[in-house]
Chains A and B, each alone.
Chain A
């Protein structure tokens, strides 16, 4: 039995610009659900409204209209009390794009402690939480370091530890890998994957990297403030032409399968988001005969 962690219905948000005279809609009626413990990727090009969606989830922005329920708290039903907002932000942790602009303290462990300190977690519980969180993201050896001496991937892992120390139910990555190099990106993705699998933390990865979306259980594509497409990575990548229209590209392997099918090479199967799946499909089409021929020759 699964349970909804996020439930939105016809969710809208407009930015006020020009001294509140003009409304610029960023979200135009989003209806979706995210289950507890799910790993969801939200895809969209820059300006599609995907980051706005993230900011609504922990009440950094308030919905203009529509329904939004996160972790049982109704965010669209008027004013929330301070305690409700704090409890919401504790449960839904955010990792942002620029690793430099989210670390507060001059020492790694002090930064990890920042969230629980704000929540008033007493000692020795606080110390334990900080040590556990650093251990989980594999940064225990850097506890006494200064953040500016760390690499981008390490900084983001410290940011994740800072969230873990608040004992969250959900982690939202708001383009958290956009400024990282491939190694840093892998560090961060491996970490959240492990948190999702081992601790059942719900993960929302907002990104425009298709290779990252392929790692998710489910992909949601947002375009122009609306939900365009959702499904498993295989299902979504199968809509290659639609994705291209909205400025997104499928991973190279999926692209190859599309192109080969267009060449009338019969490829059977649908595991197009996984390189191994693609390899299987191609081998099948070329037949084991190919291998036999070789051994004969």
Chain B
């Protein structure tokens, strides 16, 4: 259980790893905007190239990136099928097949060229979206750096009484205790197994019930930990976010700003490319 790789963070030393996490959050938002703006073959080609560049820049092994996409294969297949069969266009590629359905009606299948284009674009869009955001956020940014970045990006919300600092502190503590609690779960499970607990046989309800002897002690211990941690934090002069300084101050560097500007330019470029109507444009 100790070997649980937490999140998807892949330790490496690359340009993207070194970026300010706030810049990465902004960049991934821009990247998402970009992918949704894409409408024609040229812009999709450019975006795909950009995503590949990101993978290379981040020095993350390609097979790891692909593996992170694997769970979504079903969704990809489903959306592309829907696009292939449901898009109506002008260029009919097949004769219309009529398939009689058991309840009397017939279903006529017509596949248009537009449907194939759309399916390809949808797959690419999801692909690019996932690669872009996961490279910027999960692969190159530790969860804790992410928390810091979000705390600072959202700090203006403090003015409208949203407890940004407290939420960030809670997230930090949760991140700190996840490995501890996982280890504890394993310990308690082993202890109950040693008393003959059976977690694998029986139906769903029986198995859920068998977990009670694990969940109750876990909950009690979590409460104890929370209480002790609160005392320890008080002893270390914790008094809320007011007047705190930070050991690690996030600093937006010139290169971060440059990257953001570059991506903004890219967004604008894609926007105008769409107007040119090259090869095929999605509706």
Contact = CB atoms under 8 A, between A and B. Distances in A.
Contacts of A19: none
Contacts, number: 92
B179 A117 contact: no
B14 interface: no
Interface in B23-55: none
Interface string A107-131: 1011001111111111100110010
A197 B152 CA distance: 43
Interface stretch (A93-101, A178-186, A244-252, A275-283): A93-101
A59 to B, nearest CB: 9
Contacts of A86: 237, 239
B229 A102 contact: yes
Interface residues of A, number: 40
A96 B247 contact: no
Given A100-B225, A106-B172, A146-B179, A118 B239 contact: yes
Contacts of A82: 239
Given A105-B172, A106-B143, 11 more contacts: A60-B231, A86-B239, A89-B235, A94-B235, A98-B228, A101-B224, A101-B232, A102-B232, A106-B172, A114-B238, A162-B236
Nearest to A114: B236
Nearest to A102: B232
B257 interface: no
Interface string B174-216: 0110011001000000000000000000000000000000000
Contacts of A148: 176, 179-180, 183
Contacts of A103: 176
Interface in B220-264: 224-225, 228-229, 231-239, 243-249
B144 interface: yes
A96 B236 CA distance: 12
A156 interface: no
Contacts of B229: 101-102, 104
A166 interface: yes
A120 B245 contact: yes
A102 B176 CA distance: 11
Nearest to B229: A101
